[in-house]
Structure 1
Amino acid sequence: MTARELTESRRTRTTRRLLQDALVELLAERPLNKISIKELCIRADVNRSTFYAHYTSLDDLLRDIEDNTISWVSGALDQLLAQPDTAGIEHVIASICQYIADNRSHLQVLMSPKADLGFQQQLLGLIYSRRSVAEQLQSQSTTDPAEAEMRVRFAVSGSIGLLQYWLATDLEAPAETIARTICTMTLPATT
């Protein structure tokens, strides 16, 4: 790759990030259907042609934000699956909480009632589709498949609910506290 290609790539990433951040700021104020491309461009300090060089619509921009988040979550789930023990799982959960803290503005919007509920359903679907995550979380807790499924549903929904609460309270608790709470409530007790 040439120096120019690296610079263009960096410039492209920077421009996309400016547009994403501006959309998130506007979504915190009002729904997507009340936001215009013109005001987004003003907020991001880019012109309309720059916007259209990267995205076809505001929906396209929002999908890009959601896709980036889903991609990261998918990678985090892969890391979770690779962990051989509870300590490794706890470490990955702590890194997920730290990612949320580092990306709070985007995630506060994506996980709020203001956002596209389809994204939240997609997120849950991704987690539930990874049966081995569920099996790893609950493998030692019971031999009854129906009870194991209920425990998994409770663990996932409860964890998502706690993360939504944490985001809604503007991350009042430290990431480590949230991670510890999730681990305590969802991982089987070891003896």
Structure 2
Amino acid sequence: MGGLSGREFESPHLQKGIAMPRQTDVRVQKTKERLSASLLSLLKEKSIEKVSICEICNRAGVNRNTFYSHYSDIKELLAEIEGGFMEEIISSIAISKNTVESVEDLFLLILDIVESNQDMCTLLFSDNGDKNFLHNILMFAMPSAIQNWMAELGISEDDATLLYYFVMGGAVHTLEAYVKKGISLSKKDLASKLNDMVMKAQEALSISKN
């Protein structure tokens, strides 16, 4: 999947509005997969600022012209990788929305996604990763969480929004610790404890308004 797409593969066929042969599409996709794998491999060794296009191409077995036919720079390639991962997450949340009936269910869903993409999440939480990525995931889940909390906790939209921002700040660091094996709890137990914390925060919010 691709989220933030790179520049279109330039071709006279595209310029004329004629569909490219499927064989070419498959070849382009395979090339992009090699470039993505190459970048992710390099990010295990160094920060993105220290990765060069030459290194990516050498490891992927393609030349620089091929790289530039798809991407303007390295960050555009990384954006496409993250966009693809984000699409998978969005699909998972959309498919599961009818079964997410509680705050605990939402946390468990996010933990399932993190565990299913352990390598990607470990990389994103490393010193070479993009720390804003999990924040973006949680922001995507925000509308669903707010609606659930309004219904489940009986609070206003403003209070649910305030509660979500409060919880999100702690959730980012908690999930980071979980990915880095700093928390030995099972997914179920961690989701339950996070749920308890949300309830306590909601109680404190209610008390402060009385």
Q: Same fold (TM over 0.5)?
A: yes
* Structure with more of its chain in helix, by fraction: 1
How far residue 168 of structure 1 moved from its aligned partner, in angstroms, is: 2.2
Q: Give the counterpart letter for 1:60 in structure 2.
A: E
**Structure 1 residues 94, 183: closer, same or farther in 2, change over 3 A?**
same
How far residue 111 of structure 1 moved from its aligned partner, in angstroms, is: 3.4
Alignment match of 2:53 (pick from 20, 27, 37): 37
Gaps of at least 5 residues in structure 1 are none
Q: In the alignment, is the contact (CA less than 8 A) between 1:76 and 1:96 conserved in 2? A: no
Q: In the alignment, is the contact (CA less than 8 A) between 1:20 and 1:65 conserved in 2? A: yes
The range that moved more, 32-41 or 92-101, is 92-101
Mapping of 1:68-79 within 5 angstroms?
Answer: 68-79=84-95
How far residue 173 of structure 1 moved from its aligned partner, in angstroms, is: 6.0
Is the partner of 2:69 in helix, strand or coil?
A: helix
2:10 corresponds to which residue?
none
Q: Give the counterpart letter for 2:178 in structure 1.
A: W
1:107 aligns with 2:121: yes
Alignment match of 1:186 (pick from 188, 195, 198): 195
Mapping of 1:48-63 within 5 angstroms?
Answer: 48-63=64-79
Alignment match of 2:177 (pick from 157, 165, 170): 165
TM superposition score normalised by structure 2: 0.64
How far residue 98 of structure 1 moved from its aligned partner, in angstroms, is: 4.3
**Larger-Rg structure:** 2
Alignment match of 1:19 (pick from 15, 35, 41): 35
How far residue 43 of structure 1 moved from its aligned partner, in angstroms, is: 1.9
**Structure 1 residues 99, 144: closer, same or farther in 2, change over 3 A?**
closer
How far residue 118 of structure 1 moved from its aligned partner, in angstroms, is: 4.4
Q: Give the counterpart letter for 2:69 in structure 1.
A: A
**Structure 1 residues 125, 26: closer, same or farther in 2, change over 3 A?**
same
Is the partner of 1:30 in helix, strand or coil?
A: coil
The range that moved more, 77-86 or 35-44, is 77-86
How far residue 62 of structure 1 moved from its aligned partner, in angstroms, is: 0.8
**Mapped partners of 2:28, 2:112: distance in 1:** 26
Mapping of 1:2-13 within 5 angstroms?
Answer: 5=22, 7-13=23-29
1:66 aligns with 2:79: no
Identity %: 21
**Mapped partners of 2:173, 2:76: distance in 1:** 27
Q: For each residue in 1:59-87, what CA deviation from the matched residue of structure 2 results, as whole angstroms up to 9, or x when unmatched?
A: 1101111211222233333334333635x
Q: Give the counterpart letter for 1:104 in structure 2.
A: Q
**Mapped partners of 2:134, 2:109: distance in 1:** 20
TM superposition score normalised by structure 1: 0.70
Q: Give the counterpart letter for 1:22 in structure 2.
A: S
Q: In the alignment, is the contact (CA less than 8 A) between 1:66 and 1:110 conserved in 2? A: no
Kindly tell me the number of residue pairs found equivalent between the two proteins: 179
**Mapped partners of 1:180, 1:172: distance in 2:** 11
How far residue 19 of structure 1 moved from its aligned partner, in angstroms, is: 1.4
Q: In the alignment, is the contact (CA less than 8 A) between 1:155 and 1:186 conserved in 2? A: no
